[in-house]
Amino acid sequence: HPTVFIHAMSAPIQAFDPLTVPIAGTNLIEASAGTGKTYGIAALFTRLIVLEQKNVERVLVVTFTKAATAELKTRLRARLDDVLQVLESKEIAKLGDDTLSDGIAAYCAEHHKGDTFLPALLKQALQKEGRTRLIVRLKAAIGQFDNAAIYTIHGFCQRILRDYAFLCQAPFDVELTEEDGDRLLIPAQDFWRERVSNDPVLAALAFKRKAVPQTVLAQIRAYLSRPYLNFRRPQADLKQAQRNAETSWQTVCRLLPELEAGFWRIHPDLNGNSYRKNSFGNLFKELAQKSAAGQLPFLDKDTHERLLKLASDKLEARLKKGKTPDAAVFAELQKLADFGYDLNALEEAEEATIIRLQLDLIGYLNRSLAEMKKSRRERGFDDLLLDVHTALTDNPHAETLARAVAENWETALIDEFQDTDPLQYEIFQKIFIAQNRPLFLVGDPKQAIYSFRGADIYAYLQAAEDARHRYTLATNYRSHAALIGSIGALFRLKERPFVLENIGYSEVGAARAESRLSPKRPAVQVRWLHENDNEKANKDVLRRRAADYCADEIAHALNEAAGGRLNFKGCPLQSGDIAVLVRTHNEAVMVSAALKKRQVQSVLLSRESVFASPEAAALSALIGFWLEPRRAGTLRFVLTSSIFGYNAQQLHDFNQNESEILHWAESARTALDNWNQYGIFAAMQQFSQTHGIETRLLSRNNGRSLTNYFQLLELLAAEDAQNRNPAALHKWLRDQISLAGNNGGDNRAIRLESDEDLVKIVTMHASKGLQYPLVYCPFAWDAQDTGPSDWQILHQSANRTELLAKAQLSEDEQKQYADEEMAERLRLLYVALTRAEEQLNIYAAYSTNTADNPLAYLIEGLPQDSRETVRQTYDREKDGIAMLKRNWRRLTDNAPAGTDFAFTEDAPPPAAYRGNAGQTAEFAANSIPERRFRFVRHTSFTALSRHTQTPDGGEEDACPSLDAAETSVPAMPSETPTASDGISIHDFPKGTQAGLCLHEILEDFKFGQAAAGQETLIADKLKKYGFEEIWLPAVAEMAEACQKTPLTGAYCLSDIPPECRCPEMGFTLHTEDFGLKRLRDWFARDDIRLPEVCRAAAETLDFHTVNGFLNGFIDMVCQDPDGNICVIDYKSNHLGADASAYTQQAMDEAVAHHHYYLQALIYAVAAARYFKLRGQPPAAVSVRYLFLRGTDGKGGGVWRWDIDAAALEQIK
């Protein structure tokens, strides 16, 4: 057994009494499961305030989670309220000083039954000061309780950095960030470019090992920001190892025919089993094939082992009797073995190089991240601990800082101290222990189960060594005496029940002698899973059987309760009184399915974030599909996720249906449009309505999936309100999922009220701190593999903590790792077993990894046997099932007094819950009207005009800056004229680019100046859009005609001064119920004077009623010298080969076909509102659409519509 370098803890252990414990020095309080830890902390805190007259702001209370902090605040405040309530009660107020003490005792006995602390506290307090003064102090303390120093460890450090920024040498204005997330990847990639990409040898090694920044970062990120870790850097010369291997290979290639011939010459003299002809024939065949390539080959494991068998000593050891070695052949074949050894050396050098590279990356990332956050003035939660630790250990003001903090908080209470780490403990040591301040460390080393979060049991053991006083909470208030005795008997079977030195099983008494179950049941029932002793140890079969047995027992118990034959505290046992404890999610699913088959409803309770739920991953994938609807692979993942739940057949059918795939892609695009306009919540609700998401989720997990879905939507909507664009919100969701996967974040899944009435399926880690009347542990017999992961933290001599790669572990260190793994499993087992209040049900079986099972360790062998001894015993045993069964029988049949075990080999009878069998109520589904969505929309003329009833159902595309008609004709690849003579605007190319070019020329054109003087402007625009300068005269002539064309009366654009013109006027109109019926009726009125063809076109409009905003840009709004308002829009539509084609009828038909009359109305309303808001309400608005190819400067090519202001008011 490896030595654990913690000195024996010499301080004697005493029972903890919150009223008598000295408020001085360092005190360690061990609080075993169920002994009222929070009650003890609350009592000690109340004593400090009431009896020691401390200020609530001067007593520091620290715990390790926000939830625990909130609970402590509530409990501490409630305790002070209890004291005040007693003192202010009418019964006590009437008493004199001589009867006050007895009166308080009598009052507490009636109103606070069983609470011996409260009357004893008040008795001592009233001996120090009068009742009136004590009441005044208590009210002041309660009034100041919002300022009480009750923090998480991170909150405590943040307070130090804020209040003592100068002494900490910390910046004042920093932003606290939750997670480094993808920030680590960028410096990791920088490191890779600097160290790997530029080094051919390292680059080749990385390629060979499939090492990229992402994978390497995933392996080492858990070990960042841990300055107490020491590295053991392996030494290796990779280049020399490569040279050696290549030299050996070249030698083998050169001599291979002779080597093969020599081997076959001596082969008859060799042991045939060790040197099989086929195997070595394949060896030489493979070497011959790879020698042709010339490069150093990759050999599989079997080939490599055969090479090593050709070493001289191994050949000689396998010679048949009477045969003598052929020294010459043996010497030649040694070259093949040497090649194998060189490959071994190369592999070791490669492994060492990769390890050094990863260790260097840890240091690089720690430095880079610190510099990055410093430059951005950001800190993460782990940085708070690092900053305070650095300020207390590596800072010229460290001593001054420690004294200042210690003076601020006179006493400190640290809860859940078994979950600390060396960094945190050193902070408390520097502030409180070194400054000789009262410090109370409360925890239980037997419940230290969070090493995967960075907790370090050795930090607790070091604190136990440093503590001046050690106490224990000696009474269990959770379980009855026989259950406590039985669990104690199990752990007392070993001298080291938790493997590690200095963690023993603490004896506790029972506050309750009898079980509250009626009739009585065995305190601990052990159910044997094997059907017979000759059964093969198949873990899959045993797991399913364990789930089925457990479900049958629970169903039977509930049936007994429903019949009045099983009661808890005088009432029938309920489903909510039962918990099944599991280790993994897969185990939970197995139990849930087994219970469901027996009509028993259950719920999986977890302390995981809602972002760790399957619904979060499904939503992330769904949003990813919305953003990239062409990704069919993402869609398939979405369809098989928890939201839609497609099975293999459904997915196969979907893959064969191309139209269905296109439908989903279109649905995704619609959802993204809705998101951009209305927000994520509205878009998701409409998508859910279309695809039945809520209906599917409601049918599963008793509403748990639907609850998770809605909680995620609320969180997304809250984040969406921070003006994140869809891509940014998707990244935020992925970050939260990643954070939850790394045990971070704080958005726990919402608990449903109905959860309390169901059988609880709880992971062992999540069950810590909880309790249940009946507890089942169906998989307690199983064990996970004990093989080391890629990296391990091991504790060495002189409290040195090392981070070691798996390849670096020596044989002794591998045993130490196995010891620490078993120790953690035993602590987790202790947590699970001690959740029971009345009965504990354990399931036992033998499997291939029973030697690594904590229960198997406890019940096998002698008390002094180590883990390794027990493992060897199981490994030697041929009949493991019989051996394990004997061990359980020995424990249960010979259990000491004060215990209550039962061992049963019989399978429970199959059962189905009949609790509702007598109910005959009939239920009918409520009729729910179809959900209608009323959204605030942002739309435009282009969007509205797309939705029309056309014979072919087609829709027109539109360029954002042009109308549909101006882009509907593609640019023609006709030849560019060679001379400008005879070229007119009618010959100008058609299409999007031409339309954009003409619009931009007129947008920047200086009306009132001759076009001939603006040829440079026109030429630049033509060039910008790819048109030859040959077109300049025709376009200039068009511009000149535009500014000379009469618009209102005799006025043309050249007559209107610049201050009366507004080009490209943008607008946003608010509208309610902008619908088709009223619009069509308005267009049909005679006083509107709209051409008949346009009225007919209006009947084909088919858009939804708009509630929201209409927006757009008007080419020109102007006011002539007489005050008339004119709206001008340029149209580059091609209606014919010359000006004669632009007749009134042709322009009316074009306006009708493309619904320009609707655009004209929107523009007229916008212009009228614009001038009305500025105190110039127009009498009418003149709409002039200039068909640029038909304008002649005399009035031709202009579509005209004059709309009275009164009519415009009515359309609003």
Q: Is 272 annotated as a binding residue?
A: no
Burial 454-486 (b: 16+ CB within 10 A, else e): bbbbbbbbbbbbbbebbbbbbbbbbbbbbbbbb
Q: Is 671 annotated as a binding residue?
A: no
Separation between Cα atoms, residue 624 and residue 628, nearest integer Å: 6
Q: What amino acid is encoded at 1209 in this protein?
A: E
Coil/strand/helix, residue 441: strand
- Measured N-to-C along each axis, helices 680-691 and 704-720 cross at an angle, to the nearest 10 degrees, of 150
CA angle 131, 132, 138 (to 5 degrees): 85
Output the six-digit token pair for 179: 């997670």
On whether the CB atoms of residues 488 and 505 are closer than 8 A, the answer is yes
Q: Is 37 annotated as a binding residue?
A: yes
Separation between Cα atoms, residue 321 and residue 572, nearest integer Å: 80
On whether the CB atoms of residues 1181 and 1203 are closer than 8 A, the answer is yes
In sequence order, which residues have a C-beta less than 8 Å from that of residue 344 and are 6 or more positions away? Answer: 304
- Residue 512 parent element (H or E): strand 509-512
On whether the CB atoms of residues 17 and 40 are closer than 8 A, the answer is no
Output the six-digit token pair for 889: 């029988």
Coil/strand/helix, residue 1180: strand
Q: Is 38 annotated as a binding residue?
A: yes
Q: Is 787 annotated as a binding residue?
A: no
DSSP β-bridge partners for residue 571: 568
In sequence order, which residues have a C-beta less than 8 Å from that of residue 25 and are 6 or more positions away? Answer: 436, 438, 439, 468, 469
DSSP β-bridge partners for residue 1069: 1110
Separation between Cα atoms, residue 663 and residue 671, nearest integer Å: 12
Is residue 22 reached through a cis peptide bond, with omega within 30 degrees of 0 on the bond before it?
A: no
Q: Is 34 annotated as a binding residue?
A: yes
Q: How many CB atoms lie within 10 A of CB 936?
A: 13
As a whole number of angstroms, the longest Cα–Cα distance in the chain is: 129
Cα–Cα distances (Å) from 459 to 170, 241, 744, 805, 1184, in that order, read 27, 41, 22, 22, 84
On whether the CB atoms of residues 476 and 511 are closer than 8 A, the answer is yes
Separation between Cα atoms, residue 1106 and residue 1098, nearest integer Å: 16
Separation between Cα atoms, residue 395 and residue 422, nearest integer Å: 19
Beta-sheet strands, E only, within 917-1042: 937-939
Task: Give the DSSP letter string of 1072-1132.
Answer: EEE-HHHHHHHHH-GGG---HHHHHHHTTB-PPPEEEEEEEEEEEEEE-TT--EEEEEEE-
Q: Is 31 annotated as a binding residue?
A: yes
Task: Give the DSSP letter string of 738-772.
Answer: HHHHTT----BPPPPGGGGGSEEEEETTTTTT--E
Cα–Cα distances (Å) from 824 to 51, 497, 1004, in that order, read 40, 11, 77
Separation between Cα atoms, residue 327 and residue 812, nearest integer Å: 39
Q: Please choose, from the candidates 476, 483, 432, 420, the residue with its C-alpha nearest in 3D space to the C-alpha of residue 39.
A: 476
Separation between Cα atoms, residue 855 and residue 1052, nearest integer Å: 99
Separation between Cα atoms, residue 273 and residue 264, nearest integer Å: 15
In sequence order, which residues have a C-beta less than 8 Å from that of residue 414 and are 6 or more positions away? Answer: 62, 63, 420, 428, 439, 440, 441, 442, 443
**Binding-site entries:** 31-38
**Binding-site entries for ATP:** 31-38
